[in-house]
Amino acid sequence: MDKLLVILRNLDAEADFENCVTLIDGGILDSFDIISIIAAIDEEFGITVPAEEIIPENFNSAKALYEMIQRLDEE
């Protein structure tokens, strides 16, 4: 989880990634950020995020992202 937070903070130092649940809906992350996150996930966790996972439910909060990563890891 910490690794994930580091990735996120690299994109936007100010946002409160620990608590915010509207990262996509609130416009804090845009499509550039999403791709950067996916690239970083690939690099740090060795996990490929398929396109159908790129939905607000998975990216709206750090927690949701983490759950997605764990789920993809198992598959």
Partner 1 sequence: MVFTTYEFLILLVVAAVLYYTLPRSFQWKLLLAASAVFYAYSGLDNLIYLAVTIISVYLATRRMDDLLAEQARGLAADIPGENAKAYRAAIKRRRRRLMVLCLVLNLGILVVIKYTAFAVQGADAVFHVLAKPEDLGFFRFALPLGLSFYTFQSVSYVIDSYRAKKAGYVERNPFKLALFISFFPQMVQGPISRFGDLKQTLFERHAADADAISAGALRVFFGFFKKLVIADRLMPVIRALTAPGDEFAGAYVLLTALVYAVTLYCDFTGGIDVTIGTARIFGVKLAENFDRPFYSKSVAEYWRRWHITMGTWFRDYIFYPLSASKPMIRLIKPARRLLGDHIGKRLPVYIATMVTWFATGLWHGAAWNFIVWGVLNGAVILISQELTPLYGKFRSKLRLGDGKVYGAFEIFRTFWLMSLIRVFDVYADVPRTLRMFGTIFTDFGAGKLIANGIAPLGLSLADIVLAAVSLAAMIIAGAVSRSKPGSFNSVTFRVSLCAVLALAVIVFGKYGLGYDARQFIYNQF
Closest to partner 1 by CB, 21 vs 35, is 35
R_g of the chain, CA atoms, integer Å:
11
Closest to partner 1 by CB, 53 vs 66, is 53
**Taking the complex as a whole, how short is the minimal distance between the CB of residue 53 and partner 1, in angstroms?**
9
Q: At 47, give phi and psi (nearest 5°).
A: -110, 130
Residues 13-72 within binding reach of partner 1 (CB under 8 A): 31-32, 34-36, 38-39, 42-43, 48-52, 54
Runs of H (alpha helix) within the chain: 2-11, 31-45, 56-59, 62-74
